[in-house]
Structure 1
Amino acid sequence: MILRTGQRVVFIGDSITDCGRRDAAAPYGSGYLSLVRALVGARHPELELEWVNRGVSGDTVRDLAARWASDAVAERPDWLSVMIGINDMWRRYGDRPHEAVPTDEYERTLRDLLRQAVDATGCRLILADPFLIEPDRGDPQRADTDRYAAVVAALAAEFGAVHVPSQAAFDRVLTVSPAKRWADDRVHPHLPGHAVLAEAFLTALGATAAD
């Protein structure tokens, strides 16, 4: 287990992280973050950790950049978890293609934001891949998602970050189950889908049940 007592763990991202944290499910949301928090607490009751959710539905890296100083740097995290990119790519396939963020801009912006946070706070990073709950890698949207996920994996290596392979986690369950079990729209998981994400985070943090 790599988290230590007294640490502040800040999560930032889009709707997958937000999950109602500004509304009925305040302050942690009803998704993977809440599950990670609960299970880390259950498996490591000796730890006293502070958990913060700064996800905002609909965000791309451009939106993160606009609020990075207040919602990431000013939170003074010991650990900063970032999962972003689904909207950056997904917008290309919806009714707002002009808001899609090209891969090169996505990489450049995310790298700059991560460097700002590390330089300003000394935090360690947790980087989770964007994902699409789609088993066909030849599907155009899935192929695009894989390109954005590859950027995250490369940045995780560049920054020495903890890498959470979200897409691989869904790929494993999709070998034996239909996509509709996990999400209606291939993007926003049902609670079992958030559990898939939470398990991926717990494994990356070394907080598995076998500890």
Structure 2
Amino acid sequence: MEKSQQRSILFAGDSVTDCGRREDPRGLGDGYVNFIAAEVAQQGVAVSNVGIGGDRVVDLQRRWAKDVLSSSAQVLSILVGINDTWRRFDSNEPTTAAAFEEGYRELLTQAEPHFQRIVLVQPFLLPVTAGQQDWAEDLRDKQHAVARLAAEFGAVLVPAHERLTALAADGGGNTALANDGVHPTSLGHAELASIWLETVNV
């Protein structure tokens, strides 16, 4: 799709996308979506946000028709996966990589006819505790699934995990970008927005 056609972007996902958007009169929240919206507004591109904290793929499936398929946006961006890992460790509710990929594929199959361009943001983790090293192994298979799905559906893959991990190593450490390893700091959100914009090239 030509840049001139990208007039509206819809962001879907979990708390990293939500980021207080339901308390924000603009509906954007104060995270990476807000940073992206400020940047693309100069090009006349509108942004909307339907992220909800705590969501896994199965939760997106329940509200997909209402929140996503009904949208008139041309571009859809999805960031989901960390809660599919997290719930295994804090609630004993694991999501296998196969189930994650199958559910995600269903979302994309439904979305594909409605959007001119789809963006998949790689779920990321910046471990800050010893226990989160175990999370990383679980999440890795889901990251591979997202990459496969991006290739399968011709979607843009935003390499958030690799880029944020490299940035953390270059200075400040993981806590500078995500205090708890999952939710970005203001700096982390700004960096995530930059990675998104550089990759998607709106």
Calculate the TM-score normalised by the size of structure 1.
Answer: 0.87
Structure 1 Cα separation of the partners of residues 119 and 192 of structure 2: 13
Contact 2:122–2:160 (Cα < 8 Å) also in 1: yes
Structure 2 Cα separation of the partners of residues 158 and 178 of structure 1: 34
Structure 1 Cα separation of the partners of residues 87 and 2 of structure 2: 35
Question: What do the CA deviations read for 1:74-101 (whole angstroms, capped 9, x no partner)?
Answer: 013211100001100111111x122x32
Contact 1:117–1:123 (Cα < 8 Å) also in 2: no
Bigger shift: residues 178-187 or 13-22: 178-187
Contact 2:36–2:193 (Cα < 8 Å) also in 1: yes
Count of aligned pairs between the two proteins:
199
Q: Percent identity?
A: 36
1:105 maps to which of 96, 99, 113: 99
Query: Against the structure 1 CA distance between its residues 147 and 64, is the aligned structure 2 distance closer, same or farther, given a 3 Å change threshold?
Result: same
Alignment partner of 1:139 is 2:133: yes
Alignment partner of 1:194 is 2:172: no
Give the secondary-structure state (helix, strand or coil) at the position aligned to 2:118: strand
Report how far residue 40 of structure 1 moved. 2.5
Report how far residue 21 of structure 1 moved. 0.3
Unaligned runs of 5+ in 2: none
The amino acid of 1:88's aligned partner reads D
Report how far residue 35 of structure 1 moved. 0.4
Alignment partner of 1:118 is 2:80: no
Question: What do the CA deviations read for 1:5-55 (whole angstroms, capped 9, x no partner)?
Answer: 5622100000000000001464111000110111233xxx3x222211000
Look up the match of 2:36. Answer: 36
Calculate the TM-score normalised by the size of structure 2.
Answer: 0.91
Look up the match of 2:149. Answer: 155
2:46 maps to which of 42, 47, 50: 50
Unaligned runs of 5+ in 1: none
CA RMSD across the alignment: 2.0
Structure 1 Cα separation of the partners of residues 46 and 184 of structure 2: 25
The amino acid of 1:184's aligned partner reads N
Structure 2 Cα separation of the partners of residues 171 and 25 of structure 1: 33
Bigger shift: residues 24-33 or 138-147: 138-147
Query: Against the structure 1 CA distance between its residues 125 and 6, is the aligned structure 2 distance closer, same or farther, given a 3 Å change threshold?
Result: closer
Give the secondary-structure state (helix, strand or coil) at the position aligned to 1:180: helix
Structure 1 Cα separation of the partners of residues 3 and 184 of structure 2: 26
Contact 2:101–2:145 (Cα < 8 Å) also in 1: yes
The amino acid of 1:75's aligned partner reads S
The amino acid of 1:140's aligned partner reads D
